[in-house]
């Protein structure tokens, strides 16, 4: 099944998704399988994107007009596509700079691999700068770094909640006091424990939540 996702940055009606909608319909997406958000690509709280990702099943393909409609943060895009790939879901970008990405084809996977390599390089640079900054701060007698917002108790709560279809991700994040990115780094959309979550609660291997 083909599923389409659309997004415009402003919620005041000054921007329209008509162009995206027409392109997605022309590509074969049924109107009933279109999801639409009016929010910045950098915002964690995009309810229709969350609903779209949760609705996708093994064998489905997610279509977006341009890659930046899915998100503007490279690491978020890479993590999202890796999650889709692990679930057997493809991603196809119709136009723009990411138009060569079609993870249902070998060449499209190669292009996405380059994106993933760039994201890894970016993470390495950030980590290097952070370590250097903390070392310099400690040399001056200061302690740096922020306390973790995610706790073992929150991970277990998130696993139980995400395993329920009626759970609203935005409300869960507000209740736990964390961002969507933090949530999905520890627990999958189906309540599966991810490596960061497993590490936090002291278990060696991710576990599957009951569906």
CATH number of the domain encompassing residue 93: 3.40.50.1390
On the question of pLDDT at 195 being above 70, the answer is: yes
**pLDDT score for 53:** 92
Number of domains in the chain: 2
Do 20 and 96 reside in the same domain of the chain?
Answer: yes
170 domain residue, yes or no = yes
Please report the pLDDT score of residue 112 as a whole number.
66
| 138 inside domain | no
Angstrom CA distances, 87 to 13, 74, 183, stand at: 35, 20, 18
Q: Which residue has the higher pLDDT, 113 or 46?
A: 46
- pLDDT for the residue numbered 3: 96
Q: For residue 116, is pLDDT > 80?
A: no
**Residue 144 within a domain:** no
Write the Ramachandran bin of 210: left for phi over 0, alpha for psi from -120 to 50, otherwise beta. beta
The verdict on 84 and 7 lying in the same domain is yes
The answer as to whether 130 is a domain residue is: no
pLDDT computed for residue 123 by the predictor: 57
Write down the pTM of the prediction.
0.53
Q: What is the pLDDT of residues 49-108, one digit of tens each?
A: 999 999 999 999 999 998 888 876 777 777 888 888 888 898 898 998 667 788 888 877
Same domain? 25 vs 106: yes
Are residues 7 and 60 located together in one domain of the fold? yes
Last residue of a domain, one of 78, 111, 144: 111
Same domain? 105 vs 157: no
Q: Please tell me whether residues 65 and 164 are part of one structural domain.
A: no
Q: Is residue 50 part of a domain?
A: yes
Out of 111, 138, 161, pick the residue that ends a domain. Answer: 111
User: Mean pLDDT in the chain?
Assistant: 80
Largest CA distance in the chain: 61
Q: Let me know if residue 13 belongs to a domain.
A: yes
Q: How confident is the model at residue 184 (pLDDT cuts 50, 70, 90)?
A: very high
Q: Residue 148: pLDDT band by 50, 70, 90 thresholds?
A: low
Is 9 one of the catalytic residues? yes
Residue 62 belongs to some domain of the structure: yes
Cα(39)–Cα(41) distance, rounded to whole angstroms? 6
Q: Note down the domain range covering 194.
A: 152-200
Q: Could you tell me if 178 and 86 lie in one domain?
A: no
Answer whether residue 8 shows pLDDT above 70.
yes
Q: Which residues pair with 63 in a beta bridge?
A: 4, 92
Active-site pick, 9, 107, 127, 188 = 9
């Amino acid at each position: 099944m083909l599923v389409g996702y659309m997004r415009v940055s402003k919620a005041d009606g000054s921007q329209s998704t008509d162009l995206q909608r027409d392109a997605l319909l022309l590509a074969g997406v049924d109107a009933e399988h279109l999801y639409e958000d009016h929010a910045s690509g950098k915002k964690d709280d995009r309810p229709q994107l969350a609903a779209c990702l949760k609705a996708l099943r093994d064998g489905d393909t997610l279509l977006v007009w341009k890659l930046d409609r899915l998100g503007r943060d490279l690491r978020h895009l890479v993590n999202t596509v890796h999650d889709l790939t692990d679930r057997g879901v493809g991603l196809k970008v119709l136009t723009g700079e990411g138009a060569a990405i079609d993870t249902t084809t070998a060449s499209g996977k190669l292009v996405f691999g380059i994106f993933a390599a760039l994201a890894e390089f970016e993470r390495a640079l950030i980590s290097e700068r952070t370590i250097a900054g903390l070392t310099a701060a400690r040399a001056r007698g200061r302690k740096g770094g922020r306390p973790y917002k995610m706790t073992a108790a929150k991970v277990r709560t998130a696993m139980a909640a995400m395993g329920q279809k009626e759970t609203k991700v935005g409300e869960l994040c507000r209740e736990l006091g964390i961002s969507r990115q933090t949530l999905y780094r520890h627990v999958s959309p189906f309540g599966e424990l991810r490596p960061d979550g497993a590490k936090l609660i002291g278990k060696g291997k991710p576990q599957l939540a009951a569906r």
